[in-house]
Amino acid sequence: EAQVTQNPRYLITVTGKKLTVTCSQNMNHEYMSWYRQDPGLGLRQIYYSMNVEVTDKGDVPEGYKVSRKEKRNFPLILESPSPNQTSLYFCASRGQGAVLDEQYFGPGTRLTVT
């Protein structure tokens, strides 16, 4: 089954404690991205990657890091989480064939930083 998986699905942590949210897709997609979703603000892109070893900032990259060492994986790293990073996070992927290729979303990770 074609899918994007994320782990963990729920996470409560404390300020300053480094964490990583994993994302993996099994569709051999080149393009992957991370979004955060907050009430009233919609989905905002954090980082994206056009292919292995190619990453770029989205609209709200501050406080986040990513890496793309393998095509299937695109982890999101919060080196020193803060309460304003409490949010619902989605990983997404799509093929590079056309801009209009459907984007597949992971199930989401609900992060709370206290």
Partner 1 sequence: GQNIDQPTEMTATEGAIVQINCTYQTSGFNGLFWYQQHAGEAPTFLSYNVLDGLEEKGRFSSFLSRSKGYSYLLLKELQMKDSASYLCAVISDKLIFGTGTRLQVFP
**Which residue of 32, 76, 87, 106 would you call a contact of partner 1, by CB under 8 A?**
106
Sign of CA dihedral 39, 41, 45, 46: negative
Q: Does 63 bind partner 1 (CB under 8 A)?
A: no
**Which residue of 7, 22, 30, 58 would you call a contact of partner 1, by CB under 8 A?**
58
Q: Does 27 bind partner 1 (CB under 8 A)?
A: no
Answer whether 7's CB lies under 8 Å from 22's CB: yes
Q: Does 45 bind partner 1 (CB under 8 A)?
A: yes
Nearest partner of 79 among 21, 17, 36, judged by Cα:
17
Question: What is the C-alpha separation between 10 and 46, in angstroms, rounded?
Answer: 19
Q: Does 71 bind partner 1 (CB under 8 A)?
A: no
**Which residue of 41, 54, 82, 84 would you call a contact of partner 1, by CB under 8 A?**
41
Pairing of the two strands 109-113 and 10-13? parallel
C-beta closer to partner 1: residue 17 or 57: 57
Q: Does 69 bind partner 1 (CB under 8 A)?
A: no
Give phi and psi for 63, each to the nearest 5: 90, 0
Instruction: Name the residues that contact partner 1, by CB under 8 A.
Output: 35, 40-45, 48, 58, 88, 90, 99-100, 102-103, 105-108, 110
